[in-house]
């Protein structure tokens, strides 16, 4: 199994300089990212950070205000058929036709996709325990999610796009969704992009990660590299401090008295030099969890955005 | 093979797998020549990305802990790798540190601990000799 490459030439999704405003609000601000083939790309961010807006651009439901969006090298707005026939999509708000029966839903969806695999669809239907005669609107939320997942998977799309797929679902359904993601990449190097605010899920299944905060990309890269470039240091001073001097590598600083915890990104040598200068010692050094990294970036960027008059 | 992944822990998931496999080998829970699960099977078992498992196996192979047999799966190396020994020493070192700290708290001298170790070791020696 090959690790996905990060070159833009092989990108399934290529987004450059994408900006989108809703009224005076900048929902996306100069976002550029490349989703390589054959991996799982996790998109994280708080609610209303811009994740869904980004996904809508990938699906061609929104037109780029400035910048470009290419999926399989095509423009999803001008060539929706060329793009959407190769994309399986599951949204947080599953807008399935409620009046249809499950078997009708499968039959209806199948008509749109030449690559629909009836055997696979039947296998998934049985695995998910979906009654073919049940009306979609009478299904539980979890079963509706499974029905949505089934129709997103059954034509074996080259790209599976999941927008907050786990939102509001119980752990059993969430596991079904994660397994579907894993099988999709394990088979024939297909690609998955999924957004979530459940960071432990993202950490489990992603190999690439993008973090959006208030419409801006604050982190983007290989998940293991992102993790390894962050450090949580516990500093010990000989005498109590009221605050630490500012340092550019630090994303967040917590503590009081003699002991302070600093979450920093990259440039460890520079940080060590500063620490020595202050007469402090590093008593603990660890790789932080993705949660901590996210909180640290969100906290810092929030401060920056608030101080920027252009965005207020 | 029992592996537990925790996202709360800071270490990257591939590293958690590498550490735990090394631990299982060092503690004898995985025997030389034993087959470990295929990448995809472990990925599904743990609900993690198969690429992550692939990376962990690659690191384990580089470290000589496992051997890939072409087209026939991945096995724990036959020749107890030097790393497994280092790992065993590392596990013991941690326990010894804890022992020394506790002994210091109780005011017991190092010589006394060494004597105690010898005393405890003797009956084990005769038992294993039988």
- pLDDT, tens digit, 9 for 90 and up, residues A201-230: 898 899 899 999 989 998 999 988 898 889
* Nearest chain B residue to A40, by CA: B49
Q: What residues of chain A lie within 8 A of the CB of B59, using their CB?
A: none
Query: What pLDDT sits at residue A311?
Result: 32
* B4 contacts chain A (CB < 8 A): no
Which residues in chain B have Cβ-Cβ distances shorter than 8 Å to A1? Answer: 39, 50-51, 54
Convert A152-167 to b/e letters by CB count within 10 Å (16 or more is b): bbbbbbbbbbbbbbbb
pTM: 0.79
Contact status of A40 with chain B (Cβ, < 8 Å): yes
Domain-by-domain residue ranges, chain A?
Answer: 11-225, 229-307
Q: Check if B48 contacts A (Cβ < 8 Å).
A: yes
Residues pairing with A213 in the sheet: A216
CATH numeric code, A229-307: 3.30.70
Q: Which residue of A has its CA nearest to B12?
A: A224
Which pLDDT band holds residue A9 (cuts at 50, 70, 90)?
low
- The percent of residues in chain B predicted with pLDDT above 70, rounded, is 91
> How big is the A-B interface in CB pairs under 8 Å?
70
The domain at A11-225 falls in which architecture?
Answer: 3-Layer(aba) Sandwich (3.40)
pLDDT at B10 over 90: no
Question: Per residue in B24-73, pLDDT tens?
Answer: 888 778 888 899 999 999 998 999 999 899 999 999 999 888 998 877 88
Q: State the angle between helix axes of A102-110 and A118-128 in degrees (0 to 180), rounded to the nearest 10.
A: 150
Condensed to tens digits (0 to 9), the pLDDT of residues A45-84 reads 888 888 999 999 999 999 999 999 999 999 999 999 989 9
ipTM reported for the complex, 2 dp: 0.70
Residues of A in contact with B10 (CB under 8 A): 227, 232, 286-289, 292
Per residue in A80-126, pLDDT tens?
A: 998 999 999 998 777 788 899 999 999 999 998 988 999 999 999 99
A183 lies within 8 A of chain B by CB? yes
Q: Are residues A39 and B55, on separate chains, in Cβ contact within 8 Å?
A: no
């Amino acid at each position: 199994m090959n690790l996905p490459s990060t070159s833009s030439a092989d990108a399934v999704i290529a987004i450059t300089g994408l900006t989108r405003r809703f009224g005076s609000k900048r929902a996306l601000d100069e976002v550029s990212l490349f989703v390589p083939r054959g991996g799982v790309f996790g998109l994280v961010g708080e609610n209303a950070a811009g994740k869904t807006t980004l996904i809508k651009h990938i699906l061609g439901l929104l037109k780029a205000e400035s910048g470009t969006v290419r999926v399989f090298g095509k423009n999803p707005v001008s060539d929706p058929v060329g793009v959407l026939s190769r994309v399986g999509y599951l949204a947080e708000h599953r807008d399935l036709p409620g009046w249809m029966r499950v078997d009708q839903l499968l039959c209806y969806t199948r008509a749109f996709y030449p690559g629909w695999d009836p055997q696979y669809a039947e296998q998934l239907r049985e695995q998910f325990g979906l009654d073919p005669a049940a009306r979609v609107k009478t299904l539980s939320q979890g079963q509706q999610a499974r029905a949505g997942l089934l129709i997103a998977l059954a034509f074996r799309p080259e790209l599976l796009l999941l927008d907050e797929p786990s939102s509001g679902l119980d752990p059993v359904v969430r596991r079904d969704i994660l397994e579907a993601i894993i099988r999709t990449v394990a088979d024939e190097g297909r690609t998955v992009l999924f957004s979530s605010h459940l960071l432990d899920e993202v950490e489990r299944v992603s190999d690439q990660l993008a973090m959006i905060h208030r419409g801006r990309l604050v982190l983007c890269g290989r998940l293991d590299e992102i993790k390894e470039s962050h450090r949580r240091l516990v500093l010990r001073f000989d005498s109590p401090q009221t605050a630490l001097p500012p340092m550019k590598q630090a994303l967040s600083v917590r503590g009081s008295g003699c002991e302070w915890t600093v979450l920093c990104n990259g440039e460890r040598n520079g940080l060590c030099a500063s620490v020595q200068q202050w007469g402090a010692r590093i008593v603990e050094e660890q790789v932080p969890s993705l949660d901590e990294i996210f909180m640290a970036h969100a906290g810092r960027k929030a401060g920056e955005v608030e101080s920027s008059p252009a965005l207020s | 093979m029992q592996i537990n992944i925790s996202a709360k822990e800071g270490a990257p998931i591939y590293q958690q797998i590498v550490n735990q496999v090394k631990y299982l080998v060092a503690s004898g829970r995985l025997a030389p020549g034993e087959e470990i699960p295929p990448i995809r099977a472990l990925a599904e078992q743990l609900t993690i990305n198969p690429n992550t498992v692939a990376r962990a196996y690659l690191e384990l192979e580089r470290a000589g802990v496992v051997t890939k047999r072409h087209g026939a799966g991945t096995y724990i190396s036959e020749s107890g790798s030097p790393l497994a020994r280092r790992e065993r020493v590392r596990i013991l070192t941690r326990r010894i540190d804890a022992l020394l700290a506790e002994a210091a708290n109780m005011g017991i001298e190092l010589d006394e601990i060494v004597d105690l170790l010898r005393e405890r070791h003797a009956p084990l020696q005769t038992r294993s000799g039988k």
